[in-house]
Structure 1
Amino acid sequence: MAEENDVIDTGSPKETQEGGGFPLAPPPIYTCTLTPDLVAKAREELQEKPEWRLRDVQALRDMVLKDQPNLRTRLDDAFLLRFLRARKFDYDRALQLLLNYHMSRRAWPEVFHDLRPSTIKHVLDRGFLTVLPHPDPHGRYILCIRPGKWKPNDYPFVDNIRAIYLTLEKLIQAEETQVNGVVILADYSGVGLSHASSIGPLLAKKIVGILQDGFPIRIKAVNIINEPRIFKGIFAIIKPFLKEKMAERFILHGSDLNSLHRNIPSSVLPEEYGGASGHFDASLWSKTLLDAEVEFVVEFCQPDPLEGVVLPDSMLFEGEQGTTQCEDTYRGLRSQLYYCY
């Protein structure tokens, strides 16, 4: 039997933001918003049992309070559920993910300091990223990234990482995203040597580390289109840090839209990619993020959540140890970049 406040949606449409099709933030007191189909999917894929859900959340909360009493983290049901779902309700792995999530802020202050939408408006205005307004048939929202819209002389690359992180934070609020995951569509039109040479192995390691082991989201596929020859060099920098399962989810389509449509139906793609959903418009997602300014100020513009915390021996980030090794690796790969170009 479900717990008292564990109410399951009977399948009525979920309220969405006006005009954008994006899900709203969850209410402060947890109420399950999953449809019956998603409840079944979560049970099958994530080992989530509705009748045990809040018991599992309480177990993770108790572990945090016992093992990390100084950790300044949210402990509400909705927040902790993200970590349990991302680690298929394995308590120990969920706790490690929660620590990694907070550790990333300390390890990469240039990304996480004063992290709020108004500070990355210039990234949004250039169309570097957006979220397509309609999910795919599997209910997965599509994060569209266009690296060629970034000019290395305009602003540092970490601003792009800030924009991606805020986008993922907004998307993961919705329970359907926690269950279904997200799909990334990366259009490499206009990417050249100046872009590739701005991303070294140390930067790549941090980016991949956060996405794989420091954030409670399921990335189900990474579709790469219009990749230039130099992408071989870019991927050579990234691949050593990818887990095998994640590496297998990278799909290179070139300029073949038919290949892309076999992975992302044309009905949810903009006309620019042979789709039927209208002209490419990044403004809807920009507005969604910018309207959430206050909630991100509350979330990120606070004291260090790890102050006074005794961390386990093995953590996601090891400070700047290994920097020399990464630089040596980059020197070895630089010749590949020039060769591919």
Structure 2
Amino acid sequence: MTGLSVEKFPEQYDEYTFTLGERYLKMAQEDLNETDSVREQSLTQMREWIAKHPFIKKCRTDSVFVLRFLRLRKFSVPRAQETLERYLAMRQSFPQWFQKLDPEDVEMKELLGNNQYQILGKDSEGRTVILIELKRFNEERFTSDHQARNAMLLLELLFDDEETQIGGYVVVLDYMDLTMRQLAIWSLTDVKNFMNCVNHSLPFRLREVHAVRLPKFALAIAELAVSCLSQKLKDRIFCHKSMGDVRKHLDDSLLTLDYEGGKQDPEQLKNDFIRRAVEKRQELLLLDEMEIDASRYKSLWHQTTDESIESGVAGSFRKLTVD
């Protein structure tokens, strides 16, 4: 596992070489302000900052890890530093969601077998497309903590994928056949905290979200989730009445055989995902060895009650674009 040391600031670290094709090189330069000189200087600054940080005790310093945050913040080092702090503090503040991402754990194996989260591949614009079929979650067997941890396992697999770091994500949320019981596993407080993590703490370049067939009973939760996002992210969320509307925004070849016009076998996608997770198991578990004095960051997540959140939910989701 070269390049995955959790020492505070190893004397030896990997020398980075850009190995992606011309397409992603152009995207990195034009979209992220990334050049060889900027990247080298920024990596050095980040590593030195980690080494001197009074509250960071252990942290990965390999290039692909640090680039997660630099690319997210378009090589603004101060903003990348802030996100890295939040990411480390988040992992320790909510271990039930972000730690023990073990694909060989009995419960995780069952979750992966349910195939709720599917990596469909890259679209014509070089973005990584993820399909989430909420109906596949077994609410009688699992809790919201399991659902979040399953999502984080998928994301941690992708965070170090450089094409995804540069191209970003397109997420399709299919709410078809979602039940009230499946939705009710999430408290309003947990929704708020999880979405705050997505908004501020995860190295996650969200390009588009396509929500389809959202039932009326889920509207309040959706409104709360969206209210936690920045305006930039809100502008990237689109609501659709049918998957046919979503297909106007996607490459048909990426959809699974479960959808009209789809070409991919969902079972094959599931098996590929599981194999990929097992191959990266040690790297996933090693993430838990990173450490920061999380007590210094308690103010990032204000503890509020479900009642106070519910009274403050606005109608922001209704204002999103609907085909």
Structure 2 partner of 1:46: 32
1:269 to 252, 255, 263: 255
Give the Cα–Cα distance (whole angstroms) in 2 for the partners of residues 197 and 332 of structure 1.
19
Q: Is the 8 A contact 1:104 1:210 kept in 2?
A: yes
Structure 1 partner of 2:282: 294
Give the Cα–Cα distance (whole angstroms) in 1 for the partners of residues 190 and 156 of structure 2.
20
Give the Cα–Cα distance (whole angstroms) in 1 for the partners of residues 226 and 141 of structure 2.
27
Q: Give the structure-2-normalised TM-score.
A: 0.84
Cα offset for 1:100? 0.6
Report 1:58-73 matches (<5 A). Answer: 58-68=44-54, 70-73=56-59
Q: Is the 8 A contact 2:99 2:149 kept in 1?
A: no
Amino acid at match of 1:131: I
Q: Is the 8 A contact 1:115 1:296 kept in 2?
A: yes
Give the Cα–Cα distance (whole angstroms) in 1 for the partners of residues 312 and 33 of structure 2.
43
Aligned residues: 297
* Runs (5+) with no aligned partner, structure 1: 1-26, 334-341
Give the Cα–Cα distance (whole angstroms) in 1 for the partners of residues 148 and 64 of structure 2.
25
Cα offset for 1:71? 2.9
Structure 2 partner of 1:149: 136
* Stretch moving more, 85-94 or 245-254: 245-254
Cα offset for 1:228? 2.0
Structure 2 partner of 1:216: 203
Structure 1 partner of 2:9: none
Amino acid at match of 1:101: Y
Partner secondary structure for residue 52 of structure 2:
helix
Amino acid at match of 1:170: L
Give the Cα–Cα distance (whole angstroms) in 1 for the partners of residues 48 and 40 of structure 2.
12
Tell me the alpha carbon deviations over residues 258-278 of structure 1, each in whole angstroms, 9 at most, x when there is no partner.
Answer: x21111121211122223423
Give the Cα–Cα distance (whole angstroms) in 2 for the partners of residues 246 and 48 of structure 1.
22
Give the Cα–Cα distance (whole angstroms) in 1 for the partners of residues 26 and 209 of structure 2.
25
Identity %: 25
Give the Cα–Cα distance (whole angstroms) in 2 for the partners of residues 117 and 97 of structure 1.
26
* Stretch moving more, 59-68 or 83-92: 59-68
Partner secondary structure for residue 271 of structure 1:
coil
Structure 1 partner of 2:8: none
Amino acid at match of 1:142: V
CA 1:113 to 1:82, structure 2 compared with 1: closer, same or farther past 3 Å? closer
Q: Does 1:124 align with 2:112?
A: yes
Give the Cα–Cα distance (whole angstroms) in 1 for the partners of residues 282 and 85 of structure 2.
24
Give the Cα–Cα distance (whole angstroms) in 1 for the partners of residues 32 and 247 of structure 2.
28
CA 1:154 to 1:332, structure 2 compared with 1: closer, same or farther past 3 Å? farther
Cα offset for 1:240? 1.9
Q: Does 1:96 align with 2:82?
A: yes
Q: Does 1:190 align with 2:177?
A: yes
Structure 2 partner of 1:36: 22
Cα offset for 1:76? 1.9
Q: Is the 8 A contact 1:103 1:317 kept in 2?
A: no
Q: Is the 8 A contact 1:202 1:327 kept in 2?
A: no
CA 1:271 to 1:243, structure 2 compared with 1: closer, same or farther past 3 Å? same
Q: Is the 8 A contact 1:223 1:252 kept in 2?
A: yes
Partner secondary structure for residue 252 of structure 1:
strand
Cα offset for 1:118? 2.1
Q: Is the 8 A contact 1:116 1:296 kept in 2?
A: yes
Report 1:190-269 matches (<5 A). Answer: 190-257=177-244, 259-269=245-255
Give the Cα–Cα distance (whole angstroms) in 2 for the partners of residues 251 and 62 of structure 1.
41
Tell me the alpha carbon deviations over residues 175-222 of structure 1, each in whole angstroms, 9 at most, x when there is no partner.
Answer: 111100011111112212222222222111122122221111201111
Give the Cα–Cα distance (whole angstroms) in 2 for the partners of residues 202 and 46 of structure 1.
34
Partner secondary structure for residue 266 of structure 2:
coil
Q: Give the structure-1-normalised TM-score.
A: 0.80
Give the Cα–Cα distance (whole angstroms) in 2 for the partners of residues 179 and 135 of structure 1.
12
Root-mean-square deviation (CA, aligned residues, Å) is 2.3
Q: Is the 8 A contact 2:253 2:264 kept in 1?
A: no
2:149 to 162, 172, 187: 162
Amino acid at match of 1:286: I
* Runs (5+) with no aligned partner, structure 2: 1-12, 314-323
Amino acid at match of 1:194: R
Tell me the alpha carbon deviations over residues 304-337 of structure 1, each in whole angstroms, 9 at most, x when there is no partner.
Answer: 6014x7846x85324xx3x23x43333787xxxx
CA 1:68 to 1:143, structure 2 compared with 1: closer, same or farther past 3 Å? farther
